[in-house]
Amino acid sequence: MGMAAEGEGAAGARSAVTAKPPLSCFMRTKNEERIIEPVLKAARQVSDDIVVVDSGSTDRTIEIAESLGARVIRAPWLGFGKQKRIGEEACKHDWLLDIDADEELTPDLIEEIKGLFANGEPRYSVYQLRLVTKPDTAPPLWHSAVVKRNRLYDRRVLRAPDHPEWDQFEVPAGMTIGKLKAPIMHRSWSDLTHLDAKFNQSSSSRAKNSKLKPFWYVSLRLLFARPFYFFQHYVSRGLWRAGLYGFAIASIAAHGRWLKDAKMLEMHLARRRAEREGQDPRI
C-alpha cells in the first residue's frame, strides 16, 4: 500500500479558483435516473469532459446524461474493472476522476479538487477520497462505514484492473497517496429494501466470478460465519454509532455477505447433480 499524505489542495479549498481543471470524469451506469442528475451537475463543476459508460439502461438515465452534456458510451456489461477500462479509454484528459452514478461531490470537495490544479498538475499521481453514505431515508453516516478510495489519478501512471469483479487498482509500494479532506456523498440506496436488493445482486456476481471454495470450507462459513460478518460491519466499521438504523444496515450487510456462501453451496450441489446425471459438472 502506498504512503498517505495530506493534499495540498486543502489549503486553497476556499480560493477563488473558477476555471475547470484538465480533468475527465467517468462513471458506469444502468438505470440510475433516481440520482444521476445532481451527481452529473456536481461533477460538471470540476470537469469539462464527463463520460458515462451505460450497460443497458431502460429508464431516463441516458436522456438525463446527454441533456447535461455527458458523452454516453453504450457498452454491454463486461464486469466491474473492465467497464472502468472502457471509461478510462474514452476520456480526453489524462487526469481522471472515477465516481459511481450515486456519488455526489460536495461543494467543499469541488473547491478542493480545483485547488489541486490551481498551479498546474497536482503534486501526486493519485489522491484518496472519503465516501460518506447518505441514505435517502436517514442523515449522513458521518462516522460509520466511511470508505476510502483512490479515485482521482493520472492514467499515465495507474489504470483500473482489467478484471470482471475487481475494480480497485493497486498503488505501487512507495508511491505517495494524496488525501483529500472533503467527502463525497454516497447516496447508495433509497431505503433498506433497495439496500437488501443490492446485496443480493452483488452476492450472485461475487459467487459466480470468484474461485469456488471447497465444499467443507463453504459449509463451515454457511454454518458459523454470519455472526462474524455482522461483527465486522456493526463493530469494526462503526455502524453501532448509527443506532438502530446502523443495526439494521449491519444485519442486511451480514446477510448479503452470507448469501455469497449460500450461493456457492448451490453451485456445489448443482455440480454434484450434474455428475450423477453424467453431464458436464462445470458451472
For 159-187, the pLDDT digits (tens) are 998 888 788 989 999 999 999 999 999 99
Residues 199 and 74 in one domain: no
Closest CA to 22 of 43, 1, 49, 61: 49
pLDDT at residue 20 is higher than 60: yes
Residue 11's domain is classified under what CATH number?
3.90.550.10
Domain presence at residue 41 = yes
Are 143 and 204 in a shared domain?
Answer: no
Q: What is the pLDDT of residue 3?
A: 52
249 and 169 in a single domain? The answer is no
Would 283 be classed as within a structural domain? no
Q: How many domains does the chain have?
A: 2
Same-domain check for residues 14 and 90:
yes
User: What is the DSSP secondary-structure string of the chain?
Assistant: -PEEEE-GGGGGTTS---SPPSEEEEEEESS-TTTHHHHHHHHTTT-SEEEEEES---SSHHHHHHHTTPEEEE-----HHHHHHHHHHH-SSSEEEE--TTEEE-HHHHHHHHHHTTTSS-SSSEEEEEEEE--TTS---TTSS-EEEEEEEETTT------SS---PPPPTT-EEEEEEEEEEE---SSHHHHHHHHHHHHHHHHHHSPPPPHHHHHHHHHHSHHHHHHIIIIIT-GGGGHHHHHHHHHHHHHHHHHHHHHHHHHHHHHHHHHHTTS----
Domain ends where: 137, 155, 186?
186
Last residue of a domain, one of 155, 186, 217: 186
Q: Find the domain containing 261 and state its range.
A: 192-276
- pTM of the shown model: 0.82
**CA distances (Å), 255 to each of 40, 240, 259, in order?**
32, 17, 6
282 within domain boundaries: no
pLDDT in tens, 235-278: 999 999 999 999 999 999 999 999 999 999 999 999 999 888 87
Mean pLDDT of the chain: 91
Q: Are 180 and 214 in a shared domain?
A: no
Say whether both 251 and 161 belong to one domain: no
pLDDT of 269:
95
The confidence score (pLDDT) of residue 19 equals: 76
Angle value at C-alpha 251, between 249 and 252, nearest 5 degrees: 65
In a domain, 222, yes or no: yes
Does one domain contain both 142 and 245?
Answer: no
